[in-house]
Amino acid sequence: MRTNQKKKLQSHDAGETTDLQDSTLGPEQQGTIISRFGQHADVETDGGHLARCNIRRNIKSLVTGDKVIVRLALTSESGASRIEGIVEAVHPRHSQLSRPDLYDGVKIIASNIDQILIVTSVKPAFTTQIIDRYLVAAEDTGIQPVIILNKVDLITPEDAPEIDAALERYQSIGYQVYRVSSITGEGVEQLHALMDGKVSVFVGQSGVGKSSMINAMMPDAELLTGDISQNSGLGQHTTTTAKLLHIATGGDLIDSPGVREFALWHLPADRVGWCFIEFRDYLGTCKFRDCKHLNDPGCSITEAFKAGEITEDRYNNYHRIIASLDEQRHARHFRAGPDE
Ligand SMILES: Nc1nc2c(ncn2[C@@H]2O[C@H](COP(=O)(O)OP(=O)(O)O)[C@@H](O)[C@H]2O)c(=O)[nH]1
Ligand SMILES: [Mg+2]
Ligand SMILES: [Zn+2]
């Protein structure tokens, strides 16, 4: 059933990609993928022109954020298709975000991201467990994470000491921490400075204030993409595709529901350990190679924890993550069937 649907889509696509002849195309230019819809992509050339383009068939993967070589049509045919050029090639990526996919195992959603802004808040309750899950997922991509505490206007005197202490622990192991309120505007200027010159994504649980923060930072975001993303023929892709948005004060934001749902899906235990950055000095020095870093004799992680080099909170969260990933693996094992 699904295979048939896929076949149909592919043959349908084949008819759409042959409407530009080489002789009608201009010189090669550098560009950036602003968004991708099926067999088309919106490309911004380095000259600042936004063009909807076809994609050469030999390009296997093309996502928002990709740096590309593009050729624009010399004469713009005012037809229904509005195809203005073709993406010829993709430059190597320095980073990518992906998520599990039913068909392909993993689906890449965006590329060339410089920093992952992990948004957390006071309400829903501040919790280091969730922050650590996002930190692990971010470290696994190799993209620099930054912690953003939103809704600082809601911090009560009772909650403040615990939150301050937790944030200081993150700073002491090397993470940048920002405190903002998208309601009062506190810290928003610093956020602009953080994002200037970089490509960022916001991730975090529902309700922490990602949308509010993006609106506070760039009230014109919708105007920038609203126009070109209307295309009846491309259906549902248009609502879920990642979009690259320029921030007026400098820097770019890549955003989509898929990007915001960035999460920790599955990693082997040794990779999780490596993603706890302050564990790295000790990894490989435990007595047993398959050390669980719990009650194992000669465990250097546990020794570092007991010596106060690793905090109790991070040590406990490491074990919680390992336990939850084990559970997930078992659940998946039981669910997996031929048509699942
Ligand atoms: N008090 C306060 N509320 C906020 C702040 N930022 C967002 N909110 C509220 O938190 C709720 C969830 O925000 P939203 O942006 O939809 O979160 P998202 O799910 O992460 O996109 C909304 O009711 C916002 O008005 C803030 O800085 N302070
Ligand atoms: Mg939202
Ligand atoms: Zn160990």
Q: What is the pLDDT at residue 132? A: 98
Question: How many A from CA of 212 to the centre of ligand 1?
Answer: 6
Q: Which atom of ligand 1 is nearest to the CA of 182?
A: 27
Q: Is 179 in the pocket of ligand 1 (CB under 6 A)?
A: no
**Substitution candidate for ligand 1 out of 212, 213, 259, 260 with most atoms within 8 A of CB:** 212
Distances (CA, A) of 164 to 216, 288, 308: 24, 37, 19
Q: What is the pLDDT at residue 226? A: 37
Q: What is the pLDDT at residue 1? A: 39
Q: What is the pLDDT at residue 229? A: 43
Q: Is 188 in the pocket of ligand 1 (CB under 6 A)?
A: no
Q: What is the pLDDT at residue 331? A: 74
On the 0-12 / 13-18 / 19+ scale of CB atoms within 10 A, 17 is middle
Identify which of 27, 21, 14 has the alpha carbon closest to the alpha carbon of residue 69: 27
Q: What is the pLDDT at residue 56? A: 96
Q: Is 261 in the pocket of ligand 1 (CB under 6 A)?
A: no
pTM of full prediction above 0.95:
no
Reduced to 3 states (helix: H, G, I; strand: E, B; else coil), residue 291 is coil
Q: What is the pLDDT at residue 298? A: 97
Q: What is the pLDDT at residue 7? A: 42
Question: How many A from CA of 215 to the centre of ligand 3?
Answer: 45
Q: Is 150 in the pocket of ligand 1 (CB under 6 A)?
A: yes
Question: Which protein residue has the closest C-alpha to ligand 1 atom 25?
Answer: 212
In sequence order, the 6+-apart residues with CB closer than 8 A to the CB of 166 are 126, 128, 313
From first to last of its 340 residues, the chain has per-residue pLDDT tens of 344 444 443 333 444 444 567 778 999 999 999 999 889 999 999 999 999 999 999 999 999 999 999 999 987 665 555 789 999 999 999 999 998 887 878 899 999 999 999 999 998 999 999 999 999 999 999 999 999 999 999 999 999 999 999 999 999 999 999 999 999 999 999 999 999 999 999 999 999 999 999 988 887 665 443 334 444 444 444 457 899 999 999 999 999 988 988 999 889 999 999 999 999 999 999 999 999 999 899 999 999 999 999 999 999 999 999 999 988 877 766 655 444 3
Domains of the chain, earliest start first: 2-90 (2.40.50.140), 96-255 (3.40.50.300), 269-331 (1.10.40.50)
On the 0-12 / 13-18 / 19+ scale of CB atoms within 10 A, 258 is middle
Question: How many A from CA of 211 to the centre of ligand 2?
Answer: 4
Question: Which protein residue has the closest C-alpha to ligand 1 atom 5?
Answer: 151
Q: Is 181 in the pocket of ligand 1 (CB under 6 A)?
A: yes
Question: How many A from CA of 207 to the centre of ligand 2?
Answer: 7
